Amino acid sequence: MKNLVLGAIERERHERRFMAAISAWYAVTDGTSPLPNALSEICSAFDADAAGVSRYGRRVGDAPRFISYDRRPPGAFVPRLSRAYTHCVLGEFARRARSGTVWQSSMVSDLDPAITTFQSRRALRELIVCPLGCGEEGHDYLEVHFDREVAGELLARIETLAFSLQRAWSERAPGSFFERLVASRPTIGGDDRINLLDFANPAGLSRAEYRVCLLLSQGLSNESIQRELGIAEATLRTHLRNVYGKAGVENKAELVYKLLAAEKPSPQRARSSV
């Protein structure tokens, strides 16, 4: 009898959280609440670690715009969700996936190393992606990250929610929080293929910051960079903090990954940039 009562209480708790997530999402789509509030409610409803909404432009190679909510506090010793991973799951189906459907990273046999690295460092096991719809500006997606397997009743509840969220998203009010945000310049952190050392300097690095990144891409340690540039440890830390913010990364490991994932500039271009 006690187990039945506890089970009923737990189901009621899930139902309340489920309805709170839907209510918060509708508040976003009618323009009365910021998107991170709804993402927070979605994480609470399903005990997820993090969630985000991304917009991938119609032009292949464009960096996606991204808004996220992460239950891990800033400064934690693990990377926070600061970029979209939807393309890692959907791959070639990204622009053909039906709105309101649910896709799982665990069902992909050859995952992009970007998401497997993120999952490993966060001890995550599943990424759920739900296509929300497409318009003139691009394709929108919801992604939710979990530290456990998603199956059975939990998966069924997510599929039910995905359908409701997609319907509301298709009817969202013009000028909503997300629409205003994605109209701005996308963050560099949205795509690891963007070359921070490109001649065009897409991240707006200063001369000193560029040199730090160039030396990092060549495998130099912090101590070697200090000697090479003749700067103090505190100065290097300042340069790195500035670069993290401009590049959309959380720490040195993510910065090095981004530098190595992109094509290196030729020596001539590197010299002309500094």
Smallest Cα–Cα separation from 95: which of 52, 128, 126, 140?
140
The residues pairing with 50 across neighbouring beta strands, listed in sequence order, are 70, 145
At residue 52, the 3 state secondary structure works out as strand
Domain boundaries, the chain: 2-186, 191-273
**Cα distances (Å, whole numbers) of residue 43 to 37, 52, 142, 158, 227:** 10, 10, 12, 11, 46
H or E element at residue 59: none
Task: Provide the residue-wise pLDDT of the chain in tens; the chain has 274 residues.
Answer: 545 544 556 667 778 888 899 999 988 888 788 888 899 999 999 999 999 999 988 776 667 888 999 998 766 677 889 889 999 999 888 888 999 999 999 999 888 888 998 999 899 999 999 999 988 888 999 999 999 999 999 999 999 989 889 988 988 866 555 665 555 444 444 455 578 887 777 778 888 999 999 898 888 888 999 999 999 999 999 999 888 877 877 778 778 878 877 654 444 433 344 3
> What CATH number does the domain located at 2-186 have?
3.30.450.40
Q: Which one is the CATH code of 191-273: 1.10.3210.10, 1.10.10.10, 3.40.190.10, 3.30.750.24?
A: 1.10.10.10
pTM above 0.75, yes or no: no
User: φ and ψ at 211, to 5 degrees?
Assistant: -65, -40
Helices (H) and strands (E) in the chain, counts: 11, 5
Task: Give how far the C-alpha of residue 124 lies from the chain's centroid of Cα atoms, to the nearest Å.
Answer: 14
